[in-house]
Amino acid sequence: MGAPNEPAAPGPELRRGVPEGAEGQVAALYWEAFGRKLGPALGPPETGRAFLAAHLRHDRGIVALDSTGAVVGVAGYQLAGRGLTGGSARDVLSVFGPWAGPPRLALLALLSRKPAEGELVMDGICVAAAQRGAGVGSLLLDEIAAVAAESGCTRIRLDVIDTNPRAQALYTRHGFRALRTQRTPFLRTLMGFGAVTTMHRAVGPLGRAHL
């Protein structure tokens, strides 16, 4: 605890766009949160993090920066055919080769999501483990809603896996409602989850949820 007159430490600063030079930090955070799911497609971890960093689309992420400029949170989104994580089939084949590459491409296809008309798809929100529970994730979700509204979207969509009820609870508190759950028992051993729930939230002109 600080001294009585000590100013409170500033909260993280949100920034639209991944700053140049922060790709490695974003990839590390992303892998920490989603490495279990992404590992079979892009692992081992060092290779996966390098792939993510090399193909990040800077304009499709919102980051939270601490007072030293370190990235402590990121939320990626897909809009107009582009998402935060990139890399073409050719990139995957050039890293993993013509034999190991195709099955990895098939796994990536299983994980890929395409936004419908008027929709922003949030694909990947994560906060550094030491900073969780302090409101950073909520700030990122609010900013995603603002981006959706400013981009003329009427809806935000996301997917949450069955092993992550705390994240689902957070989304529900932010106005998301479950639309459907797809069972994926064939992915339980490989990627660690057995079902995916798709959640939606309507977006008003100011980015507020229509509750």
Ligand X SMILES: CC(C)(COP(=O)(O)OP(=O)(O)OC[C@H]1O[C@@H](n2cnc3c(N)ncnc32)[C@H](O)[C@@H]1OP(=O)(O)O)[C@@H](O)C(=O)NCCC(=O)NCCS
Q: Which residues bind ligand X (CB under 6 A)?
A: 33, 125-127, 132-138, 160, 164, 166-167, 169-170
Distance CA(51)–CA(69), nearest Å, equals 23
State in angstroms the smallest separation of the CB of 46 from ligand X: 20
State in angstroms the smallest separation of the CB of 139 from ligand X: 7
Question: ω before 44 within 30° of 0 (cis)?
Answer: yes
Spacing of C-alpha 114 from chain mean position: 14
State in angstroms the smallest separation of the CB of 197 from ligand X: 10
State in angstroms the smallest separation of the CB of 52 from ligand X: 15
Of 3 and 130, nearer to ligand X (C-beta) is 130
State in angstroms the smallest separation of the CB of 104 from ligand X: 21
Tokens coding 180 = 């459907």
3-state helix, strand, coil split of the chain in percent (to 5) is 45, 25, 30
Strand partners, 182: 196
Give me the amino acid identity at 43: G
State in angstroms the smallest separation of the CB of 72 from ligand X: 9
Of 56 and 122, nearer to ligand X (C-beta) is 122
Of 125 and 153, nearer to ligand X (C-beta) is 125
> What is the residue whose two structure tokens read 């996301």?
158
Strands 155-161 vs 119-127: parallel, antiparallel or unpaired: parallel
Closest-by-Cβ residue to ligand X is 137
Question: Cα separations (Å) of 18 from 5, 22, 24, 58?
Answer: 35, 7, 11, 5
Of 35 and 43, nearer to ligand X (C-beta) is 35
Of 135 and 152, nearer to ligand X (C-beta) is 135
Which H helix or E strand runs over 89? helix 89-111
Distance CA(67)–CA(108), nearest Å, equals 35
Of 92 and 160, nearer to ligand X (C-beta) is 160
**In angstroms, what is the C-alpha Rg of the chain?**
18
